[in-house]
């Protein structure tokens, strides 16, 4: 594969750099989008703002008609421009959120373009023409042309163009770290990659579409809130439509312009204008945390997750377990156990298998695979691997695997598992290592200790998850004693030992049937069914392509504690939407006190007591309310895009805090703002 000279590597160092919300590169396209989104076909997707836009056009028509007939039109024109400005501000908020996503997409697109792939056999094709099943050769210094699985070799890969992290990673055929992403660079060695995506459907293609907002769909909560806002808007339309008849009955008149202004101030325009931006910003914040969400629903659901299931190997632990000890059973020589374990591991490409070979050689054991050797690969169902071969004594069959499975195999072969086996297994398990039993024929030879390492800082992160109300469950194929030791060291709440893919899937279904929302983290092909079933399936980018396809989120950093940030982002999204909805509905109260007395105080002088702000005139009151209604949207854009800060605590405490800040604040702030605007309008009129 050759890299074209015109294809620079993206500056990954800036990928996760904090970005100013109102940076010029975001503001300019957002301003342009504010006007292009005035197209009624675009605005109608937001019923609240569609009503505001209709009101702007109606009052503008009245202003023009008054001007043509020689009537005064300043008031009508002012209301029309203010309503149009309200829609522009709402469009600007959405455009600003989209612009931030498109800036991310530009960096990702640079990582995808400009590579030529060298197929196995020597032919060269454009990376855009690669199809699923094609095999390509990638060597040192070359870019991987598409998503795939390494089927041959091991290499150091620079994934900074995708993840923003400068540290290279190891990718190897035959392991749970065999998945590679198009646009990443091979730093050493040679690999053969089998492409797993069709043209235009690669991981990067989907990332670009998602961060640009092109494929963003409304989440269920967002749809429900949109329906509520539409219903409130419809109710106030009917309320305002009855006012002319009521006004005529009491001997006063209300102009159409005033009715339109009243309607716009009554309906929840603040949350209506900011709702799309909140949803887009949620996915953008996930991307800033190096998490790709395949849908907004996944981010939202993460905020309500009850249980987190984590695969142990590669998630809670570093994953590359190393053979550290041979523990032979009584009557078995240590080198005999080492020889059998080595023979069964000669074709084992996993780090564990290679470490057994290395440990055996350190003991002075060095054997080669017999010509007749038939190696048996490990599967999650059998939970063992091994080798069969012929020698002078006939057929030799060696297996290594989970101790319970080896004990069962000994009985199947007419032998039995000595009582000492369980003692050796328990000894290894209590130390936190994984016991791997070895059998030759029907004789169990002993146990190999595989030591695993807990990832640093993980216990503290699990403590944080616990404070957020999440229960953590470690899932592992280890025996219960080993699982218990590692679970205690890692700080998880519970564990599922000796788990098969079917066990993981069943556990998720059981929790979901009890009404729980389940998040699953994993990286291997055997995690794929569970990732697909979970409400939130977070696959690690270092894992297999099958895992990444099954999950609805991908963690580009392959950090097992990343779900903590995902949950915080989900909760922040829900809290932000709820807080701004509360503020929007609460600040309507002040507008009632500003406009309703102004409309009917002449007919009902007693309503003057409601004019607590002592506004100058009816028109000043209406204009002040409409101006405040327009200005509050851009004022809240930073909050909508950054989100309301989430602090772990009880739901009651969080609700009380938000009601105090956004409920009471939503009532008080408009009183102050409308009064200040009224004073300024009066001073401007007097001058």
Catalytic residue annotation: 311
> Does 313 appear as a known binding residue?
no
At residue 555, the 3 state secondary structure works out as: strand
- 422 is annotated as contributing to ligand binding: no
Rounded distance between C-alpha atoms, residue 144 and residue 148, angstroms = 9
What is the CB-side half-sphere exposure of residue 57 using CA atoms within 13 A?
8
Is 625 a known ligand-binding residue? no
Instruction: Please write down the HEC assignment for all residues of 623-638.
Output: HHHHHHHHHHHHHHHH
H/E stretch holding 524 reads: none
Q: Torsions phi, psi of 252, nearest 5?
A: -130, 165
- 501 with 379: CB under 8 angstroms? no
Write out the two tokens for 296: 């907004």
500 is in an annotated binding site: no
The answer on whether 630 is annotated among ligand-binding residues is no
Cα 57 from Cα 50, distance rounded (Å)? 11
379 is an annotated ligand-binding site residue: yes
Residues 130, 145 contacting (CB under 8 angstroms) = yes
Residue-by-residue DSSP string for 101-141: HHHHHHHHHHHHSSEEEEETTS-EEEGGG--TT-EEEE-TT
Beta bridge partners of residue 536, listed in sequence order: 519
Pairing of strands 536-540, 553-555: parallel
Phi, psi of 344 (to 5 degrees): -75, -10
Tell me whether residue 348 is annotated as binding: yes
E-only strand ranges, 332-454: 374-376, 384-391, 394-401, 434-440, 443-451
Closest by CA to 86, choosing from 626, 636, 593, 594, is 626
Q: Is 458 exposed, middle or buried (0-12, 13-18, 19+ CB in 10 A)?
A: buried
Residue 304 labelled as part of a binding site: no
380 marked among binding-site residues: yes
d(CA 582, CA 270): 10
The answer to whether 356 touches 341, Cβ cutoff 8 Å, is: yes
Cβ neighbors of 664 (< 8 A, separation 6 or more) are 586
Contact 38, 87 (CB under 8 A): yes
Residue 367, classified by CB atoms within 10 Å of its CB into exposed (0-12), middle (13-18) or buried (19+), is: middle
User: Is 233 known to sit in a ligand binding site?
Assistant: no
382 is in an annotated binding site: yes
Binding residues for Mg(2+): 523, 527
Binding residues: 348, 352, 378-385, 400, 523, 527
Binding residues for ATP: 348, 352, 378-385, 400
């Amino acid at each position: 594969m050759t890299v074209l000279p015109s294809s620079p590597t993206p500056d990954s160092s800036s990928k996760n750099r904090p970005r100013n919300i109102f940076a010029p590169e975001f503001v300019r396209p957002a301003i342009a989008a504010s006007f292009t989104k005035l197209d009624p076909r675009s605005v109608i997707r937001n019923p609240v703002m569609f009503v505001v836009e209709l009101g702007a056009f109606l009052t503008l028509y009245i202003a023009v008609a008054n001007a043509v007939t020689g009537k005064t039109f300043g008031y009508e024109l002012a209301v029309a421009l203010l309503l149009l400005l309200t829609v522009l501000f709402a469009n600007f908020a959405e455009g600003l959120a989209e612009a931030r996503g498109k800036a991310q997409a530009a960096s990702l697109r640079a990582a995808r373009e400009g590579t030529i792939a060298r197929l196995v056999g020597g032919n060269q094709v454009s990376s855009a023409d690669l199809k699923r099943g094609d095999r390509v050769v990638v060597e040192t210094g070359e870019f991987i042309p598409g998503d795939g699985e390494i089927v041959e070799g091991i290499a150091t890969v620079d994934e900074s163009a995708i993840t923003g992290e400068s540290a290279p990673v190891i990718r190897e055929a035959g392991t749970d770290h065999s998945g590679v992403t198009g646009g990443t660079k091979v730093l050493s060695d040679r690999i053969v990659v089998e492409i797993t995506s069709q043209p235009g459907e690669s991981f990067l293609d989907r990332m670009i579409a998602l961060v640009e907002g092109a494929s963003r769909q409304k989440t269920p909560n967002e749809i429900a809130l949109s329906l509520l806002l539409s219903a409130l808007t419809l109710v106030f339309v009917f309320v305002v439509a009855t006012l002319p008849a009521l006004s005529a009955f009491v001997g006063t008149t209300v102009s159409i312009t005033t009715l339109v202004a009243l309607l716009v101030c009554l309906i929840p325009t603040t949350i209506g204008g900011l709702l799309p931006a909140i949803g887009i910003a949620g996915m953008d914040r996930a991307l800033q945390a190096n998490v790709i969400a395949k849908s907004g629903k996944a981010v939202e659901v993460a905020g309500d997750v009850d249980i987190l299931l984590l695969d142990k190997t590669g998630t809670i632990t570093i994953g590359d377990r190393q053979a550290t000890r041979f523990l032979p059973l009584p009557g078995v020589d240590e080198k005999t156990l080492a020889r059998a374990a080595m023979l069964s591991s000669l074709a084992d490409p996993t780090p564990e298998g290679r470490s057994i070979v290395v440990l055996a050689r350190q003991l002075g054991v060095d054997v080669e695979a017999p010509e007749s050797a038939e190696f048996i690969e490990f599967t999650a169902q059998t939970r063992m691997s091994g080798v069969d071969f012929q020698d002078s004594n006939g057929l030799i069959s060696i297996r290594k695997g989970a101790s319970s499975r080896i004990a069962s195999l000994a009985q199947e072969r007419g032998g039995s598992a000595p009582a000492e086996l369980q003692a050796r297994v328990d000894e290894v398990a209590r130390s936190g290592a994984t016991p791997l039993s070895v059998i030759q024929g029907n004789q169990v030879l002993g146990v190999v200790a595989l030591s695993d390492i807990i990832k640093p800082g993980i216990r503290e992160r699990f403590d944080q998850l616990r404070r957020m109300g999440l229960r953590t469950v470690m899932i592992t194929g280890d025996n219960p004693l080993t699982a218990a030791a590692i679970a205690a060291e890692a700080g998880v709440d519970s564990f599922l030992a000796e788990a098969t893919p079917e066990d993981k899937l069943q556990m998720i279904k059981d929790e979901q049937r009890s009404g729980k929302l389940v998040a699953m983290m994993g990286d291997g092909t055997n995690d794929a069914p569970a990732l697909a079933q979970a409400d939130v399936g977070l696959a690690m980018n270092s894992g297999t392509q099958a895992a990444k396809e099954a999950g609805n989120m991908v963690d580009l950093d392959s950090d097992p504690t990343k779900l903590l940030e995902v949950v915080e982002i989900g909760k922040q999204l829900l809290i932000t939407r709820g807080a701004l909805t509360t503020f929007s509905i609460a600040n309507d109260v002040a507008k009632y006190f500003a406009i309703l007395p102004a409309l009917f105080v002449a007919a009902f002088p007693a309503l003057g007591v409601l004019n607590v702000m002592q506004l100058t005139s009816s028109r000043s009151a209406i204009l002040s309310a409409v101006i405040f209604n327009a200005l509050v949207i851009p004022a809240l854009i930073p909050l909508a895009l950054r989100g309301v800060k989430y602090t772990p605590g009880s739901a009651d405490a969080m609700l009380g805090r938000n009601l105090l800040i956004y409920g009471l604040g939503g009532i008080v702030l408009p009183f102050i703002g409308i009064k200040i605007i009224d004073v300024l309008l009066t001073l401007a009129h007097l001058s």
